[in-house]
Amino acid sequence: MKEKFMKPFKRNLALIGLAVGIGMPLYASADSSSDSTKATGPTTVSKDDIEFLGKAAQADMTEVQAATIASSRALTTEAKSLATSAKTDHEVNNTDLRAIAATKGVVLPTRLDSKHQKELDNLQKVDAKKFDAAYAEVVKDSHEDAVDLFEKTAKKSKDADIQTYAKNTLPTLKQHLDMAKRLDEKS
């Protein structure tokens, strides 16, 4: 009887030893797959490119959700136009980005990190009369960061697909930034 229980125990102990020996984690946090960027196996993509993919995914998700909020809360035609453009363009960007990441063996986050979620929560709480100005500020700030990130990646990435994606996405990001700056000046 004792031998019946010892075989599975010894097998599990051996597997744990093997996992520890090769540096494999014994457990993963419940949301590690949904809000972090990681390679799923061997990849030729650099750490910088993996970081870029994750940041770009967070930016796209944030812009889509901010635009969704603005669609119902914006007061001016300019703010609604920016929201429509941002939502459409960032949904396309996100689809393209996820396709590239999948071919590179990189898993992208599927939900916002706490920083970006807090930005959206704050935007949601803004007084209706001040919403357009707040939305313009969020889009302006996020697109200034995105333009900087994409310009660096377009110049420095060693991966042709990621470099091309960054170069091709820059004009749209700059267009959104210009729209946000004009809205910010009017608000």
Nearest to 34, CA basis, from 150, 120, 114, 121: 114
pLDDT band at 7 (very low <50, low <70, confident <90, very high): very low
* Overall fold of domain 48-186: Ferritin (1.20.1260)
3-state secondary structure of 169: helix
Structural domain boundaries of the chain? 48-186
- With a CB cutoff of 8 Å and minimum separation 6, the contacts of 33 are 107, 110
**Pairwise CA distance, residues 95 & 6, whole Å:** 50
Phi first, then psi, for residue 142 (nearest 5°) are: -70, -35
pTM: 0.77
pLDDT digits (tens, 9 = 90+) for 58-82: 999 999 999 999 999 999 999 999 9
